[in-house]
Amino acid sequence: MAFKLDKSAKAFAEAKQYIPGGVNSPVRSFRGVGGTPPFIAKAAGSRIYDIDGNSYIDYVGSWGPMILGHAHPEVVGELKEALERGTSYGAPTLLETELARLISEAVPSMELVRCVNSGTEATMSVLRLARAYTKRGKIVKFAGCYHGHHDSLLVKAGSGATTLGVPDSPGVPESIAGNTLTAEYNDIKGLTELFAQHGEDIAAVIIEPVPGNMGLVLPRSGYLDQVRGLTERYGALLIFDEVMSGFRVAYGGAQEVYNITPDLTCLGKVIGGGLPVGAYGGRRDIMELIAPAGPVYQAGTLSGNPLAMTAGIATLRLLVENPDFYEKVTTMTAALCAGMQAQAEAFGFNFQFHQAGSMFGLFFSDRPVYDYDSARHSDVAAFNVFFHAMLEQGIYLAPSQFEAAFMSGAHTHADIGATIAASGNAFAKVAKY
């Protein structure tokens, strides 16, 4: 049966009547790759289903949260029970302590944890805290890293901001963006020079330890240690944004894998099990500045929402109770990458495959990719041909060269085999384009 998106096209046109660009988050519009985004009706396990009746093996996983696969029966069961007890109280619950405890046990650098509603909120709040603690004004971020859409960090931002060609968004006041210094990822020399110039004013360095928002880029050997060393030398805080990598590259996140202790960490995605959650946390003496323990104000009507806490707790419990989980999903991801790489090579392509645990990425580039510039060297037009060829064969990848892909515990060997086979057909199309 020919691949059709007629109902989705109609739904997209109607959505545009009421919602800017028809979507509530820009990359979903397929602006980067062109064409019609499938409107999704439901999801289960490794698959999502659109309103046209197409089904896809999903490697977006809601952009990272769905590490157990969609609608995991135990998570759904817990949520159904929680729903009956009410959806929000705006008062303390046992659930909040339980999720904070699970997080703190998994990520020991997070001695105290404050839950918020999104990754954006986590990084926004953590910068205020870092500035209050250090009594300094400037922040360092890395080109191509994405930390959410608040003013201080929409500077040389990756993810959708890069896909849409607006890494520096209009509307961000110069007075705010001017306090954000940028460095190139993986370039310790550049960061050292930045500190030599501005060291006394730098409150914090915020970094995706394993960046997943310019495609998936890996840290060079020793690089994160050097960043830790520099921040310590200048009395600046090191903030790991593990919204994507947390509970994803390993149960303890990238800080476990690379054995680095940041001062503060941001989380999101997996810790909400698909419901809206973010969190930030870190050293007790720093976190105790947060209100009401201290004077740094940060609050939220729905923060610690019982449904979100329930989904997060159920997800983390399933992960921690299954000690083989990360090894299995990493092995599956490696098999998928190796299979796709072999298909690419059969067509003479020397593309760049990267993997970190259950995250992976493919750059349509014949050169090594290690930072924002080298990522942007990729052939976006070739990626777009590949993307649509995969979609038409029922493989749902992120609709942009500048995003990572995610494997879940629900993906099967059959899914991987089907994806590798589909990639052969898709690379054949790329070869002809």
Residue 120 contacts ligand PMP per CB under 6 A: yes
Looking at the DSSP assignment, which residues form a beta bridge with residue 204?
139, 237
- By CB under 6 A, the residues from 311 to 350 that bind ligand PMP are none
Q: Exactly one of 269, 280, 326, 415 is catalytic; which is it?
A: 269
Q: Exactly one of 56, 59, 133, 146 is catalytic; which is it?
A: 146
What is the residue type of 165? G
Residue 154 contacts ligand PMP per CB under 6 A: no
List the one residue out of 409, 42, 43 whose CA is nearest residue 247.
Answer: 409
Output the smallest distance, CB 420 to ligand PMP, in A.
27
Output the smallest distance, CB 153 to ligand PMP, in A.
8
- By CB under 6 A, the residues from 226 to 265 that bind ligand PMP are 241, 243-244
- Determine whether 187 is an active site residue: no
Cβ proximity to ligand PMP, 26 vs 278, nearer residue: 278
What is the per-residue binding string for ligand PMP in 158-177, x denoting contact by CB under 6 A? Answer: -x------------------
Buried b (16+ CB within 10 A) or exposed e, 138-176: bbbbbbbbbbbbebbbbbbbbbbbbbbeebeeeebeeee
Strands 352-356 and 40-44: unpaired
Instruction: Out of 208, 256, 263, 371, name the contact with ligand PMP by CB under 6 A.
Output: 208
Instruction: Out of 123, 265, 333, 408, name the contact with ligand PMP by CB under 6 A.
Output: 123
Beta-strand ranges (E) seen in 82-201 are 112-116, 138-142, 180-183
- Determine whether 241 is an active site residue: yes
How deeply is 204 buried, as exposed, middle or buried, from its count of CB atoms within 10 A (0-12, 13-18, 19+)?
A: buried
Reading the block at residue 141, the tokens are 């971020």
Reading the block at residue 152, the tokens are 């201080």
Give the three-state DSSP class for 280: strand
Output the smallest distance, CB 197 to ligand PMP, in A.
26
The Cα–Cα gap between 370 and 348 comes to 22
Question: Is there a contact between 5 and 50 (Cβ–Cβ < 8 Å)?
Answer: yes
- By CB under 6 A, the residues from 134 to 153 that bind ligand PMP are 146-148
The Cα–Cα gap between 260 and 272 comes to 24
Output the smallest distance, CB 113 to ligand PMP, in A.
16
List the Cα angle 198/203/204 in 5-degree steps: 100
Cβ proximity to ligand PMP, 157 vs 426, nearer residue: 157
> What are the two backbone dihedrals, phi and then psi, of residue 290, each rounded to the nearest 5 degrees?
-75, 135
Instruction: Out of 8, 182, 213, 408, name the contact with ligand PMP by CB under 6 A.
Output: 213
Cβ proximity to ligand PMP, 241 vs 263, nearer residue: 241
Residue 268 contacts ligand PMP per CB under 6 A: yes
- Determine whether 269 is an active site residue: yes
List the Cα angle 121/165/396 in 5-degree steps: 75
Output the smallest distance, CB 120 to ligand PMP, in A.
3
Output the smallest distance, CB 119 to ligand PMP, in A.
2
What is the per-residue binding string for ligand PMP in 62-91, x denoting contact by CB under 6 A? Answer: -x----------------------------
Q: What is the distance in angstroms between the CA of the first residue and the CA of the last residue of the chain?
A: 24
Q: Exactly one of 58, 241, 263, 415 is catalytic; which is it?
A: 241
Cβ proximity to ligand PMP, 240 vs 363, nearer residue: 240
Which residues lie near ligand PMP (CB under 6 A)?
Answer: 63, 118-120, 123, 146-148, 159, 208, 212-213, 241, 243-244, 268, 278
**Residues identified as active-site:** 146, 241, 269
